[in-house]
């Protein structure tokens, strides 16, 4: 059995698993090609990558095999640079529909063993195993059984991190790969986590790493032993988060929420890094326009909206809000999206933006009006529907919002959710 050294019999107050697919896109491609296309070469055993469109901004490495990593090929590297490092590199195009199917198959298994599963990304999920594993004497053995079931039934491998909270479980799953189970109990933090470089701590990007280096802080242990006041002075509110994470503190619950594709969403990658808030909000307007059109076409409204931001260094974060009134009006969606953007953006250059919605209601209740709100929402919705009708008859570009003329740099990639 592969696993960490600590197979405790004493049960913790909380027991959290983090399940992470090893080189997800490449593993899913390899599994599909072997079992469905009859190919004999396993992409995981040769220098190979899944790559985007080289003629556009998407010409980057999306996933790498372990043999490719030995040549220095890394995720987010341009394919041109990857081929320079590894001339015999095999490059296969991405197949997002396949990846969604594989992700759903994984979630089916996770839900089969645990009712409380939080999908963190297309290839990651948290499981609150506190109640499920109550009858289990060895949580590591339980995790290994789950790991083996995924490998045997689906053909690809995962790492599973085991701990008392989401942060430590996620850190544990990033230890030695592939096809492993690792623990990171609070008592193991000094030996297993503190010697790691600060960039390995969850939620630390390049900008934060540079600031910490300027303070002479290079390991997670040095972060943990730096006064919180010093970190707050250098990193503002983010300093508290970094301090807590370095000390293994994370009270956040596992939330069994529906995956993003249960709602309506759209995202776009820009062909230059966006550093201006006004330009970012123009991109958000186009995304909200697209989402609003689809909502109105299905005669539904949404009550939850989130804005996702992926920075130039591929760090992703999002901000979400619950609306007082369900809506499908483009202007209202955009206003909420802009407020979320202003609250979330830390001024790091932006590579892509997304708008996602959920809590869909086919028959929304009557709008709760405010004496301070003078907008004529009925008129706004009628205008939106009139624009939808014109576009349906004469094409999407027949009517364009004035604020989007001209727009530079947006290359749309509807996520189909």
Torsion of CA 386, 388, 390, 395, to 10 degrees: 170
Angle between helices 96-113 and 24-35 (to 10 degrees): 100
pLDDT value of residue 417: 45
The CATH number of the domain covering residues in 10-139+149-181: 3.30.70.270
* Cross-sheet strand order for the sheet of 16-21: 117-121, 124-128, 16-21, 158-163, 181-183
Classified by CATH at the fold level, domain 193-246 comes out as DNA polymerase; domain 1 (1.10.150)
Q: Which CATH architecture has domain 260-413?
A: 2-Layer Sandwich (3.30)
Distance (Å, whole) CA 340 – CA 343: 5
Distance (Å, whole) CA 240 – CA 237: 6
pLDDT value of residue 91: 93
Distance (Å, whole) CA 57 – CA 54: 7
The DSSP-derived string for 220-245 is HHHHHTS-HHHHHHHHTTHHHHHHHH
What is the chain's pLDDT, residue by residue, as a tens digit (417 residues)? 444 444 444 556 799 999 999 999 999 999 999 999 999 999 999 999 998 766 655 578 888 999 999 999 988 788 889 999 999 999 998 888 899 899 999 999 999 999 899 988 889 999 999 987 655 678 999 999 999 999 999 999 999 999 999 999 999 999 999 999 999 999 999 999 999 999 999 878 777 899 999 999 999 999 999 999 999 999 888 899 899 999 999 998 998 855 444 578 888 888 788 999 999 999 999 999 999 999 988 888 888 899 999 888 777 888 888 887 889 999 999 999 999 999 889 899 998 999 999 888 775 544 554 444 456 667 777 788 888 787 776 665 555 655 544 444 444 444 444
Residues labelled catalytic = 124
Q: Residue 255 burial (CB < 10 Å; 0-12/13-18/19+)?
A: exposed
The size of the chain, in residues, is: 417
What is the distance, to the nearest Å, from the Cα of residue 124 to the centroid of all Cα atoms in its chain?
A: 9
The token pair that represents 314 in the structure block: 């591929």
Please tell me whether residue 304 adopts helix, strand or coil conformation. strand
pLDDT value of residue 133: 65
Distance (Å, whole) CA 231 – CA 234: 5
Same fold, 10-139+149-181 and 193-246: no
Q: Residue 369 burial (CB < 10 Å; 0-12/13-18/19+)?
A: exposed
pLDDT value of residue 372: 44
Backbone phi, psi, residue 197, to 5°: -65, 155
Q: Can you give the residue ranges of every domain in the chain? A: 10-139+149-181, 193-246, 260-413
For 154, what's the count of Cα atoms within 13 Å in the CB-facing half-sphere? 26
pLDDT value of residue 78: 83
For 67, what's the count of Cα atoms within 13 Å in the CB-facing half-sphere? 14
pLDDT value of residue 224: 97
The DSSP-derived string for 395-410 is -GGGS--GGGSS--SE
Distance (Å, whole) CA 142 – CA 144: 5
What is the distance, to the nearest Å, from the Cα of residue 104 to the centroid of all Cα atoms in its chain?
A: 15
The token pair that represents 283 in the structure block: 């991109």
Alpha carbon distances (Å) from 69 to 27, 64, 85, 299: 14, 7, 10, 48
For 88, what's the count of Cα atoms within 13 Å in the CB-facing half-sphere? 7
């Amino acid at each position: 059995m592969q696993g960490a050294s600590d197979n405790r019999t004493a049960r913790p107050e909380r027991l959290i698993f983090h399940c992470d697919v090893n080189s997800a896109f490449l593993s899913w491609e390899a599994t599909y090609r072997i079992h469905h296309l009859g190919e004999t070469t396993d992409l995981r055993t040769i220098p190979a990558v899944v790559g985007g469109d080289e003629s556009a901004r998407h010409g980057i490495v999306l996933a790498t095999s372990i043999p490719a990593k030995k040549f220095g090929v890394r995720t987010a590297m341009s394919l041109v640079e990857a081929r320079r490092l590894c001339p015999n590199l095999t490059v296969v195009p991405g197949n997002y529909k396949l990846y969604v199917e594989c992700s759903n198959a994984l979630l089916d298994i996770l839900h089969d063993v645990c009712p409380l599963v939080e999908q963190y990304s297309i290839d990651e999920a948290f499981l609150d195993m506190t109640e499920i594993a109550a009858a289990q004497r060895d949580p590591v053995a339980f995790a290994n059984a789950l790991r083996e079931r995924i490998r045997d039934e689906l053909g690809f491998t995962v790492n599973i991190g085991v701990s008392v909270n989401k942060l430590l479980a996620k850190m544990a799953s990033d230890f030695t790969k592939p096809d492993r189970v690792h623990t990171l109990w609070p008592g193991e933090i000094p030996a297993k986590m503190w010697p790691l470089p600060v960039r390995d701590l969850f939620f630390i990007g390049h900008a934060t790493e540079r600031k910490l280096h300027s303070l002479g802080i290079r390991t997670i242990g040095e972060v943990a032993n730096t006064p919180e006041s010093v970190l707050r002075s250098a990193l503002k509110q983010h300093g508290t988060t970094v301090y807590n994470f370095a000390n293994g503190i994370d009270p956040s619950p596992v939330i069994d929420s529906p995956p993003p594709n249960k709602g309506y969403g759209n995202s776009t990658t820009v062909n230059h890094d966006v550093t201006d808030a006004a330009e970012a909000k123009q991109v958000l307007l186009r995304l909200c326009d697209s989402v609003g059109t689809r909502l109105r076409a299905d005669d539904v409204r949404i009550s939850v909206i989130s804005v996702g931001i992926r920075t130039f260094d591929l760090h992703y974060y999002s901000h979400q809000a619950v609306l007082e009134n369900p809506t499908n009006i483009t202007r209202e969606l955009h206003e909420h999206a802009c407020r979320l953007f202003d609250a979330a953006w830390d001024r790091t250059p932006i590579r892509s933006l997304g708008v996602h919605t959920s809590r869909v209601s086919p028959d929304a209740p009557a709008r709760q009006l405010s004496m301070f709100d003078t907008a004529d929402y009925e008129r706004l919705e009628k205008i939106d529907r009139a624009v939808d009708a014109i576009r349906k008859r004469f094409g999407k570009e027949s009517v364009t919002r004035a604020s989007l003329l001209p727009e530079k740099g947006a290359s749309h990639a509807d996520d189909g959710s």
